Structures are given as C-alpha cells and as structure tokens.
C-alpha cells in the first residue's frame, strides 16, 4: 500500500518519496515531511513549538502559549483564526464573519485514483490504478466540511492534492478563496516561474523565496501566455542532475494564483489554486465546491528527474484517447501559406505537393467558414464557405482524402465577431457588461461559456461540421483574453463565479465533443501557448506550443516548456523563411531538427520550395518516422540551455537502447573552441555506436567524456546524432 494511515499519522509513499502529516492533539493537520522516502514513522519531532510574540493561541490550547496556528506548518490554512500568513481558504458566513477553523473528523483510503466533478484529474490504469486518501475536516463553529483529497501515483513519484467544500448548514456560505494546495516547508529555496508574452512563452525566471512574497498568476480567463500554472522550488545549488527540488503544477486552464513566501520564522509557505481576484462563489445549503487538482513531485537528484516524473505521469495518467501513445499524423497547416486568401485549386495544389512529400494530413486553418476574409468578421458562423471551397466541405474533404491525406480543421469556438450572423441573432451571448462598451481584442468578443444554451449551440454546430468533414483533427484556438466579466445568466450576487464557470463550461463542451467523436485528435491552442497547461492536456493531448515558429526562438520556448510538459504534447512545425514573426532566416535542417522536439509538422507552401528544400523535407520526414517514438515516449534531457553559444537536448528510449541528441549553434565567435556537450541517458555498462561520429564507446565513456563536435558549426546550424546500443 502506498498510503499509511494509522493513529493520526498519514504518510503517502511513492517509489522514491514520502509525504507526511499528522492530526495533532487538537485535530489540526500538521505537515511533517515531504522529501526522500522514509519509513512510516512520525517526523513530528522535527516540528518545534515556542512562544512567539504576537502569534495567538487557539482557545483549546489553554495555557499552552507555545501552540499557535501562526507558526505551525499546516496542510490547510484558513483566514481569521490566528494564522496571519497567506491562507488557502477564505470565506464569509451568513452572519458576515470570516473566520474558519478546520479540524480533523475522519479519513478513508480508496484503492484507486478519484475523478473530480467537471474538472480534469489524473486517472488510474489497470496496471497503475493509483491510491487516494480523503481526510474530512469540519469547521469548529459552523456546518462547513472540507475533504482534502490526496492521490498517489507511486511509479512516477507524483502526489496530487485537491479540496472539496460542502455546506451542511441551512444558509449560503460565500467562498472568497479556495486554493488547491497549501504546503509549509523548512529551508531556503528559490522559485522558478515560467513567464513571457504572446509568441515568447514559458521563459524561466528565478527569484529567492524570502519574506517578500513571490507571487504570480493569471486574471485573463485562461492560464495565459504571461504566466504558466507550474513552478519549481529548489534548494540552493540544485542543477539538472543534483540537488533537492519540488515541482508544482495545476491541472486547470483558467485564472490561477501561485505564490511562495517565507514566514517570520523562515519557513516557506507554498500556495497554488484558483485566482482569488474576481472570484466569489455562493455555496448554498447542501452544495459542494471542488477545487482543481494540483500535481506535486519531489526529486533529490535534480531537475532532470523532476521533469521525468511530470512527463511520465502526464503521458500515462493525464492524456487520454487513441493518441495517448500512438504516433501523431505528420501534418501541414495552410495558415502561413495562404492566410485568409485561398480557393479550392490552391488548397488542392498544396495538398498534392504535401502528399508527394510524405505528409499525412492537411489542416485547413482560419477562413473556411462564413464571411471570413479577415479577422474582423465571421467568427461564430461555423458554416462552410462553399464559394471558397468550390463546393461542400464534405466534398472538399473527400478530395483531400483521395490524395491519401487525413483532414483537419481549425475552429475558435469560444469567440464571436460582431460582424457575424451569430452575434446579430444573439448579442446577449457575448460577454459584455450592460451599459458599458466592451473591450475588443483581435476584433472579436467572447461567447459566454457559462451558459448552457451557448454550449448546446456550439456542440450542435461543431458536431455538424466535424461529421460532414469526417474530420480526423480539430485545432481549437482562443485568440484573446477575457475581460468585461459578466453573464446575463447569473444573478448579480453570483457574478464572481463567472471566470470559474467559464472554464468549467469550456471543459464540458470539450468532453461532449470527445464523447461524440472518440477518434478525433484535438490540438489545443490559444494564440499558440496561451493555454498550455495540464488541464487542457486532459482533453487535448497536444497543444500548439507558440504562434512563434522561428526555430531559434522556439528553442527557448520549448526549453521552458520541457520542465513540466512532455514533448508529445508540444505542437512544433517547420515554417518558411524569412520567418513570419521574426524575419530571421534559419537553415531548413535546423528548423526541422527543432520541430522534431515536438509533434512535428509544417506551416508553409510546399509549392514554393526549392529542389534542395524538397530533398531536405523528404529527409526530415524520414528521420521523424525513425525517431518519433523516442520523442513521444522517451526521457528528455536538457544538455545545454539556450543561454550559451550552443543549445542541446536529447531523447532517450526507456530501455536505453537509443539516444537522439540535437545541438544548434546559436552563436559563433572568433577562434572559439568546438563545443563539448554532455551526454546522458545511456546504460553505463553497454556499448553504443554513433555512426555520424564513426565511434563506439561504452555508455560510461560517452557520458564521462561528452560529445565534441570537432567542426565548429556555422551560426544557426544543427546536428543530430543517434547513439545505438550494440547487441
């Protein structure tokens, strides 16, 4: 059993880690350990108690001035009862009071992973069902109950946390803050968040965890380009291969908050969950509220092992459907080739060339529907434009299939143009505050996904289009942030529920579509990486990593993404040069090598390629087919980050039979020594042949000596090296 629960001691054990807390003499859940695996023995002796000035003592502590909620490491912290640190929960009772004091009532151990109503969550499999500990707490002065839900996935060293709140009273309780995770840890740490902007997402940024709070999050209606809902907490000196570090990742696609802060005694409090700003939820009598699931992992062997834990659990216990482990179609998207301006002959010419070059799927991007010749009109009118398509969508898709290609479509279901038949028929379906002119972004408004009638309409229209096209793939986009939060379907006193209900509504629509089209591959997208999170991976096993397709920028973007998310989830394509976003020109082989760090595909017009580029595309496609299993299922290694002259990464088979190394020369300097790159992922005792280098060595020798590229590569040139274990 992975869960030990006896005599008030609760311990969650994975293959290499243990997470422990106790219900103390007052029923407070005190956190006692999270780190390397230990025996099922209480670590409470390491929790000191002392009288700290201005830290109050609860009434049931009597004369014990050393007992204070303000100094104890807690599993769940509430505002108003003497813990003055950042709380996990805040609420308002019917009488207007805001205190809460949750104490232990009972617990149960369940032999499998548990789902959350309307929310994504890690799931168990036949071989790895997972285990769950549920601890029930009750407020000392009301009928509010909390269920702390802990999931354990032993093989991946992953713990999950969530909380549900139930009102068993007779009057509504207002929830002001419901976070998924509170964790108090001893020691010094740095926090690494993954920040950025549209077209430059998930850039690592590290700050010390001190008494000045380190906090970030999103209020944009989606997890956002600017801040990803995942972060690292590292002990001093942590590297890729050594040191103690923690990872925290929220399986949620809406507004979120993450923070870490050292308290007055130097203990770090970590919090993660739904963004409290613009959140207010009425919990009526008998109602239950579920918070999103947070994923936690610890590594005592550096960041590389931590990333492998998250990659493995997301591949095996988060992504679903027929493409969970299957090769993804090698696709071409017409957007950068045609934008909005295309017709049937042009598209079919593109498809014929793509088929001749070994591509497996054509994706028809924006502009195929309604009156859509620019981004100023047509969104929401999901009716094929038969003039552009030269007939019905079904007939066009059949012609594409006749060329030997699968067929996919782009849609942006959550959005609407004011210049559209949908908006003219249902202006009340758009998110806007009565009496105020709404903000526009990309010339569009947002549909109210909190409303069942909106979701029903979208399900009917999207289903009709997907069925007519017999679509194999759907690219689901979202090209603006959500503001002017208001729903005509919600009463005024419940408007604080808007953002969370918007996210739940989007999840519900996705779930309905997957049930109706179980073989459909959905690629998530929000202007590229604006909703690249674990929540979306539950519905879309791959996500367009960034609208920036420049290979050099993509190295940095994919590097930051790799700390939590597996390469099989990373939508990455080869685009034309000069690049549309940066105007940079990079060799075709480098563009292909970088795109092979993800799902691989193309954003260009093959009719414009030179004979040399066509040969390079054929070679790249052949390489992808030889290596895609390494990228999709293997262990990822960050060999050299994008901050130096040479960036390098590798993918190793789980059985260590093959390792693919990719290196890109980012800068070339006068009389510089050739780069020597580290190598990891080999079996030290086995012998490996690298045909490109003409050398055979033991894994131990390769990893000790590294790889010296004896010819200094030109700027932006790439090299890919395959190491194969000898029989």
The answer, yes or no, to whether residue 423 has pLDDT greater than 80, is: yes
Q: Do domains 3-317 and 331-633 have the same CATH topology?
A: no
Half-sphere exposure (Cβ direction) of 55: Cα atoms closer than 13 Å: 20
> What average pLDDT score do residues 331-353 get?
96
Average pLDDT for the chain = 97
Condensed to tens digits (0 to 9), the pLDDT of residues 479-497 reads: 999 999 999 999 999 999 9
Is residue 662 a contact partner of residue 679, using CB atoms and an 8 Å limit? no
Residue 536 to residues 34, 162, 449, 556, 595: CA-CA distances in angstroms?
A: 28, 17, 16, 22, 21
Cβ atoms 191, 260 nearer than 8 A:
yes
Given a cut of 90, whether residue 517 has pLDDT beyond it is yes
Q: Report how far residue 29's alpha carbon sits from residue 472's, in angstroms, rounded to the nearest whole number.
A: 49
Q: Indicate the fold that domain 331-633 takes in CATH.
A: TIM Barrel (3.20.20)
The three-state secondary structure class of 712 is coil
H helix or E strand, kind and range, residue 157: none
Active site residue 366: no
The per-residue pLDDT for 382 is 98
Q: How many residues does the chain have?
A: 727
- pLDDT score of 713: 86
Residue 377 · residue 420 · CB < 8 Å: yes
Percent of the chain with pLDDT over 70: 100
Residue 672 has pLDDT above 80, yes or no: yes
* Confidence band for 687, pLDDT divided at 50, 70 and 90: very high
CA distance 103 to 105: 7
Note the pLDDT of residue 670.
86
Which CATH superfamily, name and number, covers 646-725?
Golgi alpha-mannosidase II (2.60.40.1180)
533 given a catalytic annotation? yes
Token code pair at residue 724? 């194969």
Please state whether the peptide bond connecting residue 347 to the residue before it is cis, i.e. omega within 30 degrees of 0: no
Catalytic residue among 448, 533, 550, 553: 533
CATH of 3-317, picked from 3.40.50.2000, 2.70.98.60, 3.30.565.10, 3.10.200.10, is 2.70.98.60
3-state secondary structure of 353: helix
Query: How far is 142 from 144, CA to CA, in rounded Å?
Result: 6
What local confidence, expressed as pLDDT, does residue 106 receive?
98
β-pairing, 331-333 with 361-364?
Answer: parallel
Examine the pLDDT at 709 and tell me if it is beyond 90: no
How many angstroms separate the CA atoms of 535 and 224, rounded? 13
Is residue 277's pLDDT more than 90?
yes
Domain boundaries, the chain: 3-317, 331-633, 646-725
Helix (H, G, I), strand (E, B) or coil at 164: strand
Whether the Cβ atoms of residue 594 and residue 718 lie closer than 8 Å to each other: yes
| 366 pLDDT tier (thresholds 50, 70, 90) | very high
- Please say if the pLDDT value at position 116 is more than 90: yes
Is residue 398 scored above 90 in pLDDT?
Answer: yes
Choice among 167-171, 258-262, 439-443, 563-567 with the minimum mean pLDDT: 439-443
Helices (H), 318-451: 335-338, 344-356, 386-389, 393-402, 421-425
- Is 289's pLDDT higher than 90? yes
SS3 506: helix
Instruction: Please give the Cα distance from 167 to 177 (Å, whole number).
Output: 15
Burial of 189 (0-12, 13-18, 19+ CB in 10 A): buried
Residue whose structure tokens are 């002017």: 484
Please check whether residue 283 is in contact with residue 174, taking contact to mean a CB–CB distance below 8 angstroms: yes
Three-state secondary-structure class, residue 703: helix
Answer yes or no: is pLDDT of 712 > 80. no
Instruction: Give mean pLDDT, residues 417-444.
Output: 97
Q: Does residue 370 surpass a pLDDT of 90? A: yes
| Residue entry with tokens 């407070």 | 28
Full DSSP string of 42-105:
--GGG------TT----GGGTT-TT--TTTS-BSS-BTTSS--S--SEEEE-TTS-----EEEE
**Would you state the pLDDT for residue 253?**
98
Q: Which of 201, 336, 613, 635 is catalytic?
A: 613
Check residue 673 and give its pLDDT: 83
What's residue 391's pLDDT? 98
Distances (CA, A) of 155 to 1, 12, 62, 437: 13, 13, 45, 53
Residue 670 neighbours by CB under 8 Å, 6+ apart = none
Q: How far apart are CA 195 and CA 533, in angstroms?
A: 13
Beta carbons of 164 and 183 less than 8 angstroms apart: no
E strands of 517-634, at which residues? 521-524, 542-544, 570-571, 574-575, 601-603
Q: Which of 516, 523, 539, 527 is nearest to 467 (CA)?
A: 516
Q: Which of 150, 159, 296, 311 is nearest to 231 (CA)?
A: 296
What's the number of CA atoms in the CB half-sphere (13 Å) around residue 123?
A: 15
Task: Give the mean pLDDT of 229-256.
Answer: 98
Work out the average pLDDT over 679-708: 96
Spatial neighbors of 274 by CB under 8 A, at least 6 apart, are 178, 179, 180, 252, 254, 255, 256, 257, 291, 292, 500
Q: What is the mean pLDDT of residues 58-83?
A: 96
Asked if residue 139 lies in contact with residue 217, where contact means CB atoms within 8 angstroms, the answer is: no
């Amino acid at each position: 059993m992975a869960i030990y629960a006896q005599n008030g001691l609760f311990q969650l054990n994975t293959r290499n880690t243990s997470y422990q807390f106790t219900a103390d003499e007052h029923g407070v859940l005190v956190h006692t350990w999270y780190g390397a695996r230990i025996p099922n023995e209480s670590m409470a002796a390491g929790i000191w108690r002392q009288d700290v000035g201005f830290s109050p003592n609860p009434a049931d502590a009597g004369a014990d001035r050393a007992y204070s909620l303000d100094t104890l490491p807690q599993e769940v912290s509430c505002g108003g009862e003497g813990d003055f640190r950042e709380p996990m929960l805040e609420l308002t009772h019917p009488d207007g009071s805001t205190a809460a004091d949750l104490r232990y009532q009972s617990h149960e151990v369940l032999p499998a992973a548990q789902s959350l109503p309307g929310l994504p969550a890690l799931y168990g499999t036949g071989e790895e069902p997972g285990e769950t500990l549920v601890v029930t707490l009750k407020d000392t002065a009301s009928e509010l109950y909390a269920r702390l839900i802990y999931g354990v996935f032993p093989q991946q060293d992953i713990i999950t946390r969530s909380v549900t709140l139930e009102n068993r009273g007779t009057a509504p309780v207002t929830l002001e803050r419901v976070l998924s995770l509170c964790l108090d840890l001893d020691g010094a740490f740095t926090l690494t968040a993954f920040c950025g902007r549209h077209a430059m997402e998930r850039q690592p940024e590290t700050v010390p965890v001190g008494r000045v709070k380190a906090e970030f999050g999103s209020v944009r209606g989606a997890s956002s380009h600017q801040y990803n809902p995942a972060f690292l907490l590292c002990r001093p000196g942590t590297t890729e291969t050594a040191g103690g570090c923690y990872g925290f990742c929220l399986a949620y696609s809406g507004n979120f908050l993450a923070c870490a802060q050292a308290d007055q005694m130097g203990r770090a409090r970590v919090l993660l969950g739904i963004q409290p700003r613009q959140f207010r939820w009425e919990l009526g009598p008998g109602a239950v509220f579920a918070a999103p699931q947070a994923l936690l992992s610890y590594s005592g062997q550096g960041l590389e092992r931590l990333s492998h834990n998250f990659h493995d659990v997301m591949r095996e216990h988060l992504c679903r459907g027929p493409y969970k482990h299957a090769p993804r179609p090698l696709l071409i998207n017409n957007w950068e080739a045609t934008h909005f301006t295309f017709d049937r002959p042009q598209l079919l010419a593109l498809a014929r060339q793509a088929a001749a070059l070994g591509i497996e799927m054509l994706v028809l991007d924006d502009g195929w529907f309604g009156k859509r010749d620019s981004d100023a009109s047509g969104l929401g009118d999901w009716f094929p434009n038969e003039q552009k398509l030269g007939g019905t969508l079904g007939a066009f898709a059949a012609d594409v299939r006749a060329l030997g290609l699968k067929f996919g479509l782009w849609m942006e279901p959550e959005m609407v143009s004011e210049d559209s038949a949908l908006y003219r028929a249902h202006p009340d379906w758009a998110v806007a505050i009565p009496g105020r002119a709404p903000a526009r972004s990309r010339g569009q408004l947002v549909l109210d996904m909190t409303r069942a009638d909106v979701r029903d309409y979208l399900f009917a229209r999207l289903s009709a289009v997907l069925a007519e096209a017999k679509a194999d793939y759907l690219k689901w986009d979202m090209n603006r942030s959500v503001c002017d939060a208001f729903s005509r379907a919600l009463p005024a006193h419940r408007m604080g529920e808007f953002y969370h209900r918007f996210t739940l509504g989007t999840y519900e629509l996705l779930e309905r579509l997957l049930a109706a089209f179980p073989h459909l591959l959905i690629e998530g997208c929000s202007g590229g990486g604006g909703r690249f999170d674990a929540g979306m991976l539950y519905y879309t096993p791959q996500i367009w990593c960034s609208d920036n397709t420049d290979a050099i920028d993509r190295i940095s973007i994919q590097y930051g993404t790799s700390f939590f998310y597996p390469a099989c989830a990373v939508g990455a394509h080869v685009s034309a040069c000069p690049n549309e976003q940066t105007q940079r020109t990079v060799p075709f082989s480098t563009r292909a090598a970088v795109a092979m760090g993800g799902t691989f595909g193309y954003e260009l017009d093959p009719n414009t390629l030179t004979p040399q580029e066509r040969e390079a595309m054929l070679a790249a496609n052949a390489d992808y087919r030889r290596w895609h299993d390494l990228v999709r299922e293997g262990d990822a290694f960050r060999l050299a980050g994008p901050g130096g002259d040479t960036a390098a990464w590798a993918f190793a088979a789980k059985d260590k039979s093959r390792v693919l190394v990719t290196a890109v020369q980012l800068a070339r300097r006068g009389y510089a020594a050739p780069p020597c790159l580290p190598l990891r992922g080999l079996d030290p005792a086995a012998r490996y042949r690298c045909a490109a280098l003409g050398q055979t060595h033991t894994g131990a020798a390769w990893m000790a000596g590294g790889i010296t590229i004896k010819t200094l590569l030109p700027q932006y040139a790439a090299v890919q090296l395959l190491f194969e274990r000898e029989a």
